[in-house]
Every structure is written in structure tokens, then in C-alpha cells.
Amino acid sequence: MAQLIADRRDIDFVLHEQLNVEELSKNEKFEAFNRKTVDMVVSEARNLAVKEMLPTWKEGDEVGCTFNAGQVIIPESFKRLFGLFNDGEWLAMNEDPEWGGQGMPRSVSSAASEYFNGANYPFMMYPGLTHGAGKLVEEFGTDEQKHLFLKNLYTGKWTGTMLLTEPCAGSDVGALETTATKNADGTYSISGSKIFISGGEHEMAENIIHPVLARIEGAPAGTKGISLFLVPKYRVNADGSLGAFNDVVCTGIEHKMGIHGNATCSLTLGGKGECVGTLLGEENKGMKAMFVMMNEARLLVGMQGFSCATTAYMYAVNYAKERIQGPNLTKPAGGGVPIIQHPDVRRQLLIMKSYVEAMRSLLYFIGYCNDVIAITEDAAIKDKYQGFIEILTPVAKGYVTDRSFEVCNHAIQVYGGYGFVEEYPVAQLMRDCRITMIYEGTNGIQAMDLLGRKLGMNKGKVFMDLMVEIQKVIKESKAHESLAPFTANVEAALNKLGETAMHMGKTAMSDKVMNAFAFAHPFLEVTGDVVMAWMLLWRGTIAASKLSDAKKKDLPFYEGQLKSLEYFTCNVLPVTLGKMDVIKATNGAVVDISEDSFIG
């Protein structure tokens, strides 16, 4: 079943032919991660995913989580799996070994994450959020907080969460009602309720550490008055031992469409007035701190969605090669053939293939940007690559999860009626994938972030730097005459995206601001399309340079890269150009329609 999680040949292509990650080992920080080590890491991740994680995925869906009098029971197999995962030190792959990490490049850990999430992403939410909580402690914690919490989080001895959402606030975090009252010893008494808390209660670890957003009494209204607190399930004594229960009570779990193996909890803090937390970072700077975790979480959600998509694609290809039904259209008397020979099935598989390959390259590239930042001393280079991460994050979360759900939908269609039956895996993949378009900021919020914050960052320089980076690949591709029509299509789309971005920026700063944001999601879509085309052209340029000397076994792979590029640039980009025309017209129907007109 290994081939049904992720495409190892394509993973190796991205790591070693597209990003050349072995070059990172020339720097002291990553000197241990030569080609041999990188391949070993990916192989070990694959083995754990296939042999241990994948068999628990279906059980997690069917057994799910149960709630009884404040206690949450997760699937029994997850407990053993969590132990194996921690024994392999996979939870903090990129972090300092001093705190229990492996010091791995993010580009390399992206491959491991793809395997893990493709095998069982509801389980992976537990270590994923734990890592995010640890990152907050590492970035903003005092020396004492780091000493007490960080290694325990990064090694998985304790787990972590993220407590933002409240019943009356939702995505409007500034409307939260949880309060913090300062005590004489410098701690804070926390009181409030939080909902939709992934991994908020379970018995898989001896303690759960909750980063909590709350408002100190007398603080300003809105997001400007929010602070961040570290609130453990069990209090932690000065010597690191566990103390009394900290009055963090689970009041229920949600019964969801998917991700049944992860407990989505409602929590009450301080119901008996005995919940105590410590300030993490500065007063009234909680949102700024929490965005460190949220940005990481958004990239994780992009990986979750993508992992559903790549797994669904692998299953669909395998099924289409085995399922015999109907004759080949050109040989009607020839009897039944595998459905992969039917044009409409091939169309859907090629749609899936082109998106999956481009999304993999994008997510790994963002990891690579982090690696470049980690090893360079040049401030200008750091700023440029940080800018790439900033502007590509809404694409990696919003656009990628939109397209991932589309890929899962195609997989069901390839299976036909069997795809709708829970006996087969693609139904669960689609159900699990759907939440990725919602949590950690809905994809509408990602679109608003791209238009309202990222497009104008540094007076538009960040967006221009991205365009220049794409133009580099266009220039390289022009050396290959066979790519000329595809290169021309990408260049035309990039130029028109620049025009569209200027129009959107101006409109967003005018009295037509509502009209601009009515087209924020379409703008995210066309930006994502151009980014996908960039990645496919980059891949195609490499493939074109390798074809003449390729070994026989590699020829279908490289030829497949060129067909993904051809399909996307000749079938998707023309539609993208039409969408840009619509955006530039900025029709006002969405804004002008009265609320009463929505009633039939």
C-alpha cells in the first residue's frame, strides 16, 4: 500500500532535482543532511507511515472519539502510535536538538510530513499542534517557561493545543470574552470558554499545555487588548513535576463530518475559579505572538489538504489501472479495458496529477525558503525569502486546500459508485479534507489576507519580488524550444496577474473597497493558478533538460512532467485569464444586492 500514500519518485524529484537540497549540507547548520541522510529520513518516514500509521487511519474514522463526564477517549491505536512517533523524534524535526529536535531542513521535513499526513492526518493533528505550542514557548517564553515546558512539548511527553475560538467570537477573535486577572504572585486567574479545540482533552499524554488568548482586566477592546497565556491542564511545579488539576474542564466534543480520530473539544477554564496561567510574551501583544503559531498552522493545514489530495490521486490512478469496464472507444469489439483508457477518466487524472505535482513543489519550496533564511547572514536575502513565505502562505493554505478538495472530488468520480461507498478510501479522504478549507482562518479570510495585507507589504515590493522569481524560471525555460508555447502562456498570465494586482490594490484603497473584497477570493484563485503554472514550468524545464540523457525507467516520469505542464498551461490558464478580466471589471452585484433580496 506504500504507493497509495505519496509518489516517492516525485518527492525525490522535488528534493533533489528541483530544490537541490543536498546543497544545504554545505552549510554548518545542515551539514549532517547530505543526500544519503536525506534519502534515509524520507525512507524512515515512509516506513512508519505505511507500516504503523496507515493501518490506524480507518479505525480512527470508524471508532472516533467518545466523551464521558469530562473525559475524552481517543482511538486505542493512537496511543501506541504516538509512542512510536515520539521514539523516532519526529515531532520537532526542524528544531534544536538541545530541546529534543532533529535540526532538519524544512524542505526535507516536508517530505516526511507528506507521508505522515497522507497516512493519518487526524492523528497528526495531535503532534502538529503540540509543535506549534512549543514554538510559541520557544519564541516568547521566559527562561523559566522554556525550562519547564519546551523539551516536554518537543519530545511529545506533553501535548499542546491552541485556544482561540469562542462561541460568540468565531473568526472575530477581537470579540473574545475570556478574562485574565493578575494575582499577587505574578500569575493570572483565567476565566472563559473556548470551542473547536483540536486535541483539547485526551489521555495520550500526562499533561496538555494550552496557549490561551484572553483579555486582562482594563485592557483595550478588540485585538489590541488581547494577551497570550500558558495554561496547563495540570499545574507544573518549579522542579518540573506535576501539581494539582488546573480547572480546565472539557464539556463536550463535536461530532464531525470527518477527522473523527481527532477530538474537537469545548473547554471551560476557571469554572471553579481555580484556573491559573502565566503570561507568554508581553501584555496586549497576544495576537502578534499567536500569529507565529497560526502562520505555521496555516502551512500545516495546506499540507493536510494536499496530503489528502495526493493520497486520493494515488488511489484513483491505481483503481483506474485495475478497474475493467467498457471497450476502448477506438476498438468497440475488443472487450472491456481498464478505465484509464477512457478519455474522461484520463482527463480527470491529468487534472489531479498537475495540481498534486504543483502543490507539492509549492509546499516544499516554502520549506526551502525557511532553510535559506536559516543559513544566510545576508539581511536582504532573508527579507526576500521571508517575503516569499508571507505572500505564499494564503496560497498554500487557501488555494491549496480548495484545489485539494477538488482533487478528492475527482477521485470519487473516477471510482464511480464505489467512490461513494465508505468501504473504499476516497470517501473518507474527501470528508477529512473538507475541514482544511475552514479552520485556521477560512479560505475567504486567506483571500482577504492576500489582498488586504500581503499584496501591499513593503509598498508592493514583496509581490514584485515574487513576480521576478517567476520570471527567472520563464527565462530559463526559453532555452528549450519545445516549451515555447507553454512558456508564452505562463508569461502572459504572469503579466496579466501584475495588471490585475495593481487594479485590486487601487480599488481596495478607494471608495469601492467593498467591491474589491468581493473579488478577494477570485484574486486568490488566479494568483494560485499562476503560482501553480510557475511550479509546473519550473518542473518542466528540468524535465526537458533531462530527457535526452534519461535512463529508460525515468522517461515516462519526465514525459509526464511535460504533459502536466502542457495540460495546465493550455487548459487551465486560458480560464485564469478570463477570470482576471472578470476581476478587473469588478462588477458590483455582490455589494449592491440588498439583504432582503436573498429571501426567495
Domain residues of the chain, as ranges? Answer: 7-154, 159-284, 455-592
C-alpha 163: how far from chain center? 19
Gap between the Cα atoms of 361 and 531, Å rounded: 10
Beta partners for 71?
Answer: 68
The amino acid that residue 21 corresponds to is: V
Task: Report yes or no: 365 and 411 within 8 Å, Cβ to Cβ.
Answer: no
Task: Kindly give the pairing relationship between strand 264-269 and strand 248-253.
Answer: antiparallel
Provide CB contacts within 8 A for 257, sequence distance 6+. 431, 434, 435
Gap between the Cα atoms of 237 and 239, Å rounded: 5
For cell 517567476, the residue is: 470
In tens digits, the chain (600 residues) has pLDDT values of 445 789 999 999 999 999 999 999 999 999 999 999 999 999 999 999 999 999 999 999 999 999 999 999 999 999 999 999 999 999 999 999 999 899 999 999 999 999 999 999 999 999 999 999 999 999 999 999 999 999 999 999 999 999 999 987 766 777 889 999 999 999 999 999 999 999 999 999 999 999 999 999 999 988 899 999 999 999 999 999 999 999 999 999 999 999 999 999 999 999 999 999 999 999 999 988 888 888 889 999 999 999 999 999 999 999 999 999 999 999 999 899 999 999 999 999 999 999 999 999 999 999 999 999 999 999 999 999 999 999 999 999 999 999 999 999 999 999 999 999 999 999 999 999 999 999 999 999 999 999 999 999 999 999 999 999 999 999 999 999 999 999 999 999 999 999 999 999 999 999 999 999 999 999 999 999 999 999 999 999 999 999 989 999 999 999 999 999 999 999 999 999 999 999 999 999 999 999 999 986
Gap between the Cα atoms of 500 and 585, Å rounded: 10
Candidate list 95, 166, 390, 440, residue with the active-site label: 440
Q: What single-letter DSSP state applies at residue 496? A: H
Provide CB contacts within 8 A for 322, sequence distance 6+. 338
Gap between the Cα atoms of 426 and 415, Å rounded: 8
Surface-to-core class of residue 127, CB atoms within 10 Å of its CB (0-12 exposed, 13-18 middle, 19+ buried): buried
Task: Report yes or no: 417 and 321 within 8 Å, Cβ to Cβ.
Answer: no
Model-level pTM?
0.96
Highest CATH level, class, for 7-154: mainly alpha
In CATH terms, the fold of domain 159-284 is Butyryl-CoA Dehydrogenase, subunit A; domain 2 (2.40.110)
> What is the Cβ-side half-sphere exposure of residue 12, based on CA atoms within 13 angstroms?
13
Gap between the Cα atoms of 118 and 415, Å rounded: 19
The answer to whether 440 is a known catalytic residue is yes
For cell 474589491, the residue is: 516
Cβ of 325: how many Cβ atoms within 10 Å?
A: 11
End-to-end CA distance of the chain: 50
Gap between the Cα atoms of 536 and 530, Å rounded: 10
Gap between the Cα atoms of 489 and 310, Å rounded: 26
Element spanning 264, H or E: strand 264-269
